[in-house]
Structure formats: C-alpha cells, structure tokens
Structure 1
Amino acid sequence: MSHDDLRRAGFKDRTRVADARERLLAAVTPHDRTGRLPLVDADGRALAETVAAARDVPGYDRAAMDGYAVRAEDTFGASGRSPAVLRLAAADDDGDGESDEAAVNPGEAARVHTGSELPDGADAVVMVEHTEQFGDEVEVFDALAEGENVGDADEDVRDGQSLYDPGHRLRPSDLGLLKSVGVREVEAYERPRVAVIPTGEELVQRDPEPGEVVETNGLTVSKLVERWGGDASYRDVVTDDEDALREAVESNLDHDVVVTTGGSSVGERDLTYEVVDDLGEVFVHGVALKPGHPVALGDVDGTAVVMLPGYPVACVINAVQFLRPALKRAGHLPSEPFPTREATLTRKIPSEPGVRTFARVRTEPGEDGEGLEATPTRASGSGILSSVALADGWVVVPEEREGIEEGATVAVENWEWSA
C-alpha cells in the first residue's frame, strides 16, 4: 500500500504485539564489542566470557559453631554422665614474637569461634553449650563424628567452579562473589548504543510559546535506555522535514538501535515512517495495542529503527514493548520480565477484543489493611503523561479478553523497574 493510500485508509490491519516484537528482534544483530573491566566498573554489564573461581572459598576449614576444636575420636563415648576430659591446647610459638593458633594434639581442645580457622590436628567442633571449662581442662558432654560442626575449605565455592556464563548481567552480589574467589576483572560486552531522535516542528527545549510543546519523549526514552543497560545519544529535535529526517537517521546508523519519537502515524506531517521506508524497510506499521497503536518498526542498512508515537503515554508503552527487548538483544542482556504485585481492582477496565490494553493504575493498601487495591488512572488516552507518571504501574489486558471486571484480582506490572 502506498503512503497516500495508507493515509486514506488509516490503520485497518494492526499487527499483534508478539508478532511485531518477533519481527523486530529478527532485525536486531547483537554487537560484538567487548572489553576488560575492573569489578568496580562492571555492575550491570553482560559478561562476554565464562567466569570460574580462581580459589576455594573460604579457603580453609572453619568452625561452624562457637565452642572447642577437638579430635572426634577423643570424644567417643562422651555423655552428660560421663564427659570426656580434654586439656586446653597451648598456643604455638614459632619464635616470631607472636602467639599463633594452637594445634590440637591427642587429648586436647582449642577454643574457637564461628568462622575461625580450624586448628591443625582438629577435625570437629563441640558446641560451647555442650562443654564446661575448669582451669586448663574442658569437659565435653557430647560424642562427635569427624567433620561435625566444621565447614570445609570449599564449602562456599570450589577452585575452578564455573560461576557465570556469557550473557549474565552482573549484579552487586555477583561482584562481591567474584572478588572473594580471586577474580579482579572480567570481559564484558559494551553497553548497546541507542540514538534517540525526537521529531516534530512544534517541539522546543525551553518554556513554550503558544502552539509549542516542551520536548519530553526524548528525555524519557533516553533515561529508560540508560536504566535498561544501554548508552543513549539524546539528539536535538528534528523538524517535520523529509531531508532533515533523512539526515538524522542516516547519521546515526553507527548505533545499534535508532529510535525516533513522533511522526509515526498517518497524518500529513507524519513523515518518519516514509523516510525510513525509503531508506530501508518498514516491516510493521500499526500494532494492536492501546494506547499507542501507531508505532512503526523497520531496518536501514542492518540497523533496527523503532519509530515511537509522539503522544507521551503511547511513546512510553511502545518503548517498553519494543525498544527495551531490541536494546537487550543488541547488548546480549537478559530480557527479564518486570516484577508484578497482586491487587484487587476497584473499577472495571474496559478493553477492545483483539487489542492488548495497558491500563495505568494507582495502588494502595486495602481497607482492612491487608492486600492492595488498584484504581485505574486512565485505561486509554495517549496524551495524558500524568496518567503514567503518577501511576504505580499498569495492568495488561490481553487480546483475548474484553475488559476486566471490578473486584477481580489483577497483576500490577512495575514497568519502571530498573532492569
């Protein structure tokens, strides 16, 4: 269908969300740029190598309880009525002027604390509550087996143990573990690079005059890109002019993904999808979601182009549904689902069959103090930015449902979660 025909017809045929996302991801090529990073700089980065432990952790046998380190065979037959009586082991003195940990010889015990290294000669720890000390002797009221109350040298991690595979996104706890096993730097993928191009002749970055609109979509999308693990290049506003739009797209094809905001519908000033189709291919134009069906997806010279609607709510919803998975694929990052919370719906959410609906909701504790209640801020409407910014999440109504009734239990998706 020609561009003029599309303008006259509107969006009669809209691609389902899952199908549109699948086509987009097929057009995204994961980049191969990597580099070695110290752990302090590696948080949130995707590994480009398998990482294994360089040593055992903790690296020594240790006491798992406060008590006394003993030889298990010296406690055989010990009981409350017939305790084993052991001598306190003397601290070693190797002539360096410092008192070292006591070695445990037959018939001896040494005081230990949880996590401390097991002395030489000992193979078990008796809990302090099962003992009684008299001067330099200890009565033991419990018979122990070898290894009882002892943590092995490789109890936490084993030398050479594989810890993480390529594509794993490093978290702070991962960095702590890697440091503990002797890893100081890792080979990681660079963050995917995303060019964010806001379009529209009415947009300004300053206080607006009558007829002007403050540019917000580019800022919002850029910060979402960074939150999702990418590097955003937030470009200047491009006016509704084919030559200017063409130059803006072509000059940013060195990025992994190009995303535009505005100009994706079928109006006289909606030129972005025409420009991208002339430069390459637009393979999706119009998606069965609400609000925000006028999204377009394409490819120019091997670079995926995501054309987001200009209305702020539609822009955000489509960025989450399409830009986020494209960015994740480009950067070898896992595309994990957003966390959800169950809540009881306080008002009905209407929706159109065959269309995936995103209803923004506020949540608050229920009247009885238990559970959550979700109140829709707005189920439709693409231009009300506050309906997203002042919401606590959204409820997704799938295509096969015709609304959700008041009182239903729903999953509230926290789409602004940082990963």
Structure 2
Amino acid sequence: MSERKEFRDLASPDEAHDAIASLDLTPDPETVPLREARGRVLAERIDAAIDVPGFDRASVDGYAVHASDTFGADEADPARLELVGEVHAGEAPDVAVPEGSCAEISTGAVVPEDTDAVVMVERTDRDGDDVLVRTSVAPGDRVMFAGADVAAGERALGPGTELGPREIGLLAALGVDEVPVRGRPTVGIVSTGEELVRPGDELDSDAGQIYDVNSYTTATAVEAAGGEARLYPHAGDDYDAMESVLREAAAECDLVLSSGSTSASAVDVIYRVVEERGELLLHGVAVKPGKPMLIGRMDGSAYVGLPGYPVSALTIFRTFVAPAIREAAGLPEAQTATVEGKMAVAERYGEGRLRYMPAGLVTDGDGETLVYPVDKGSGATTSLVEADGVVAVDPDVEYLDEGESVDVQLFSPDVRPPTLFGVGEDDPLLSELLDDVSRTQRPRYLGVGSREGLRRLRDGVPDVAVTSAPGEVGIEAEELGAWTREWGLVVPADNPENVEDLGDLVDRDLRFVNRTSASGLRTTLGNAVADLAEERGVDRHDLVDAIDGFDAGTRAHESPARRVLAGKADAGLGLRATADRLDAGFVPVGEETVRVLANPDRVGKGGVAAVREAIADADESISELAGYGRPE
C-alpha cells in the first residue's frame, strides 16, 4: 500500500490569494478584427486619424441657409428664400447658395460651404420656387461641424478600455478595422478520475461512472472571467496518465486547472506530478468548501488544483482564481452585488474554517429578503442552480440565529429572488403547473418529498409546500388546491411475474424498489401495508420485513419505474401516469390526494396567486394524465 499523503498545514485564505497572485498568467497582446473585439481590452491607446465627422453635416432634414437671412423671421412674418437646389447624404454638394437663397438638404448631408445653418423642414412652408422660413436661426444651428465628434489627432480610446458596442462604434467611425488588445489567458481544463464520462458518451452507472460536470462548469466560468478555456481529456488516477495530460496542458496554456484528486488519498498523485515538474506553493486552504486546493507552477505554466465536487470547485474558482484571470486579461474587477437579508432558519457551524455557505433567497409576505442555506453536500450538482449566492461565515462564528442579518454575495448582479419558492412532493402534474406559472413568475421548486416539505413550511422558509401525506399536516397553512393520482406497482410491460397486488410482494420472492422515506407516496404505501397486515391479523413489521427492498428507496417518482424497466427489479412503487409515459405495466393499488399548501403570510404574493390560478385551471392537464382527477 502506498504512503498516504497528508495535508500540509492549511494555508489561510489570504495566503492562497497571495500564492495565486504570484503566478504569472499574463499573455502577450494580440491584434483582432474589429468584428471580434467585443469584450476585449485595448492594449494601447488609439488616436483618431481623421475628423469625425469629416465634414460639416446637417443634423436634420431641412434647408441650408445663411443664418443672417432668417434674422427676425417668425410665424407671422416669415423670411422668403429662393430654392436653388438640393443636397443628398453621400453626395458632394454641387449647388451654389448665394445670400437670399437656400438649398434643400437631407440629414447627414454635407452642408454647402457658403451656408452656415440648417432650418428644420417642420419650421418652413413651400410657396412655388420659394421657401418660407418661419423661425430665425443662428450660425451653426442644426449643423455638426467637422471634428465635432472626434478631431484628427485626438485621443479616442485609452489602454485598458473594455470594448463594448459604443467603443466599437467609435472605432468603426474612425475607420479602424483591426484592434490591438490584451491577450486572453489560455486556461487548460483537466478533470481527473477514472469514473468520469463526457456528456454525450454512454454512461455505465453500475460501474460507478458519472458525467464530467467540472470541465463544463469551470470552462464556462473561465470564459466569463475573460479567459480562453481549452478542454483536455480527463486524466486517470495513475501517475503516468496524470503527468501526460498535465504536461500537455502546461505546454499549451498560461494556466492549468484540474479538479479532483487533490484530497489526501493514496490515489491522489497530482501533487507529486506538480512537485516533480515544477513547484508546489500551497496544498490545502482553511476554507469550506474547498479545503483540498493546490497552487503551484509546472513546466512554465501556472497551476491550480480545484476540489472534485462541483459546488466546491466552482466556489473556489470564483473566490480565488477568477480575479486572477480577469486581472491577466486586463478586465476590471467583476461587478458584484451584495444583498442583506435575515436568516430564515438557524444554522450551526463550528469547524474553525472560513465557510462560503451556499444560500438561497426568498421574500416574505412583506417583501423582506430571507436567506436559507442550500447544502445538499458538496457533491450535489443541483446546489449549483438552487443557490443565489454565498454567505461568508467567519471561522469564529459557530451559529447563525434565525432572524440574524447576513450579507449574501450574489453569483451575478442580475440574480433576483424567485417570486415563488416551493418545496415538497414531486409530481408530473405539478411540473406542468410550474411551467404555466413560469410564463409570468420566476418559480423555484425543490422536490424534497412531502415530509421534508412540510417541515420546511413549518419553519417558515418556502411560500408553498406540496404534500401527498394523508391526514392532518399539523401546521397552519392555506390550501391552494388539490388533485388525486392513482398509485400502485409499476412492472415490465408484459408483467412477466404476474404481479397482482401488494400481497405478491409479501408472499413471493420478488425484487421491489421503493421511494425514500421523505416521499408522501411511500407513506401511502406504508399505510396500505398496515391495512393488509390488519386483514391478515399479523404485525405490520412482519410484512415489511418480508418485502425485498422495502427499506431502501429512490428519490424521484420515475426512479423505481426506470429500475424496473432496466431489469433491476420486478416491481416498483409508482404512478399510473408514470407507467403510461414509460410504456410500462401497472398494477393499481389505490388513490392518494396531492395538496398544495401555502404559508398563510405569503398568500398575497404574486407567485402564490399564480399557483392557485394554475391549479384551478388545470382540468385539461388533469384529463391528459392517466390516473389523475379532482378530489370528490
């Protein structure tokens, strides 16, 4: 057995920032076509080589005049001028305009040399070959003189300017077709682990394979920070494979980012590759998530090793690496937004490390912002989209109290709290209702199950909870609506085991897939098993023990059916609607009611009202789902 590499003394967050700042990520400047310059940063000053505009230009449609010919003119006593010709945009004037005359002129046309003002057409009338001017103008009125926008030799844009539509428009007006810009740091992305599979390739879940999340989230984050991301094949956990891909990336990139294989484990070899090919500056940071971070240099390239879990990797990248990439690209510090809110629930923490707590936002009935922890564990990919930002919790803080004021660093300035926050049972009809609500609202829904949904509603965090748990819920809530759904056992299409009812699960050697204990549907099943036990005059636990797979469970409503169709079980707990959608067989057992309950203090919110309306108008959707109906 190889020697286990323990973490060195954990560095402070400030030391990690300093270590990354010591790395040289700055690329050479480059020249790009103007059309490709959006978002780039000028590497040097650009001076105007021409006047903009390059001629005296009419700013309105009207008549070019001698201003002195209009002095004293008004509506009652207009000046009469002879019309001697016309000037169009894009043409050189070929008309002489002596005093006492005028020339019709288009917006953007060259003002004739012997005129000094333009009268807008709305203040004139035609009288045969004459023009009646019903206002007086001063020299220069309605004329943009040559160089008025930018004069030749003038400093147009300075180095460090980020190029957006306005700046590119100015450069186009100056005739610039190529732009000297700061180079973008090239960042090689390497995900490590034998279990990784690229999206689009076939996944073998039985072998513990998972899709490669970090390559895509990290690459996107690199590009958002102003870098150029390059994805490399994922590296295995042996030294030779790791060294090969890291050396290739280091030879081609300014910075190499790896994720995974950075924790203190016998199979983690990256730190040895870095030490042997360069210098390891730091191994381990006193921060959560993200303790196992590496910083170093390798083959002339900078190197940062991110944690393997997606939430941890993205949090560490955003906190430590993104600022360095932006600086190297010459981009200003990222626009950040911080909102203040009150903790919706209490949160304990006492590990002595700086913690970046993923947090979600919700507004209460008065429009005040509440903050709740979003923490399914670092390995939960969905935490990436369920959180709105992070709360930095100091190492010496062990407890955040309910109602305590905290600052949330939003993931982007345009983040807004959802107008509807719901939790609870997952359900096919509910998904359709949320789609309807999305047309006018910003809903967020977490399928945590009936039990957890009711607990969170009791704590006052969500706006609504969806439950199929029977009986009284034991909390104050307002029902927004309800529907029924038929449940039973999902079996293969031809029902090869001839499953007829719940008794077959008890009496025969059948493999069964249940739902998790948080699911209201599992509670309904448990009640049905209890009824069966009463009929047989036996203890309920005896029947539960006799069902192979009853104690294990899957989270989502389709999961048992999919396992059955994959040949991993003979029957699974599910809905008729699910069996119908997946072309599976179905053995009916009963019916349960799904209720949508609202926090009484939130019923005035627009999102809650939208859900109530969607349920009331759901008859067509209910009729299209097998086994669905309205409560009697």
Choose which of 224, 231, 234 in structure 2 pairs with 1:234.
Answer: 231
Choose which of 266, 269, 291 in structure 2 pairs with 1:268.
Answer: 266
- In the TM superposition, what whole-angstrom CA distance separates every residue of 1:92-111 from its partner, at most 9, and x where no partner exists? 8xxxxx99564432112233
- In the TM superposition, what whole-angstrom CA distance separates every residue of 1:121-155 from its partner, at most 9, and x where no partner exists? 22112334443332233333433221122222223
Partners of 1:349 and 1:283 lie apart in 2 by 38
Closer/same/farther in 2, CA of residues 315 and 153 from structure 1, 3 Å limit: same
What CA RMSD, in Å, does the superposition of the two structures yield over aligned residues? 3.6
Q: 1:88-107 alignment to 2 at 5 Å?
A: 88-91=83-86, 102-107=95-100
Match of 2:146, SS state, is: coil
Alignment of 1:37 with 2:36, yes or no, is: no
- In the TM superposition, what whole-angstrom CA distance separates every residue of 1:35-60 from its partner, at most 9, and x where no partner exists? x4322333344433332233222322
Match of 2:85, SS state, is: coil
Partners of 2:54 and 2:358 lie apart in 1 by 53
**1:167 CA drift (Å):** 4.2
**1:77 CA drift (Å):** 3.0
Partners of 2:158 and 2:290 lie apart in 1 by 37
Partners of 1:180 and 1:346 lie apart in 2 by 53
- Match for residue 95 of structure 1? none
Higher relative contact order (CA 8 A, sep 6+): 1
Closer/same/farther in 2, CA of residues 345 and 129 from structure 1, 3 Å limit: farther
Match of 1:397, SS state, is: strand
Match of 2:313, SS state, is: helix
**1:226 CA drift (Å):** 3.5
Choose which of 69, 73, 76 in structure 1 pairs with 2:68.
Answer: 73
Percent identical: 34
Partners of 1:356 and 1:102 lie apart in 2 by 76
CA contact 2:343–2:401 (8 Å) conserved in 1: no
Partners of 2:67 and 2:277 lie apart in 1 by 79
- Match for residue 358 of structure 2? 359
**1:306 CA drift (Å):** 0.7
Q: Provide TM-score, normalisation by structure 2.
A: 0.55
**1:190 CA drift (Å):** 4.4
Choose which of 128, 131, 143 in structure 2 pairs with 1:135.
Answer: 128
Q: Provide TM-score, normalisation by structure 1.
A: 0.80
- Match for residue 58 of structure 1? 53
- Match for residue 278 of structure 2? 280
Partners of 1:273 and 1:325 lie apart in 2 by 24
- Structure 2: 5+ residue runs without aligned partners? 415-632
**1:349 CA drift (Å):** 7.8
- Match for residue 209 of structure 1? 205
**1:307 CA drift (Å):** 0.4
- Match for residue 218 of structure 2? 221
Aligned-partner residue type, residue 59 of structure 1: G
Question: Which of 1 and 2 has greater Rg?
Answer: 2
**1:30 CA drift (Å):** 1.5
Q: 1:15-414 alignment to 2 at 5 Å?
A: 15-16=12-13, 18-32=14-28, 34=30, 36-91=31-86, 102-205=95-198, 206-210=202-206, 211-254=208-251, 255-330=253-328, 332-340=329-337, 347=344, 350=347, 355-361=354-360, 376=372, 378=374, 381-391=377-387, 393-397=388-392, 399=394, 406=403, 413-414=410-411
Match of 2:281, SS state, is: strand
CA contact 2:261–2:269 (8 Å) conserved in 1: yes
CA contact 2:364–2:370 (8 Å) conserved in 1: no
Q: 1:7-22 alignment to 2 at 5 Å?
A: 7=6, 13-16=10-13, 18-22=14-18
CA contact 2:336–2:413 (8 Å) conserved in 1: no
Aligned-partner residue type, residue 147 of structure 2: D
CA contact 1:359–1:380 (8 Å) conserved in 2: no
Greater helix content: 2
Match of 2:18, SS state, is: helix
Match of 2:324, SS state, is: helix
Match of 1:317, SS state, is: helix
Match of 1:253, SS state, is: helix
Q: What number of residue pairs does the alignment pair up?
A: 400
Q: Report the more deviating stretch, 401-410 or 283-292.
A: 401-410
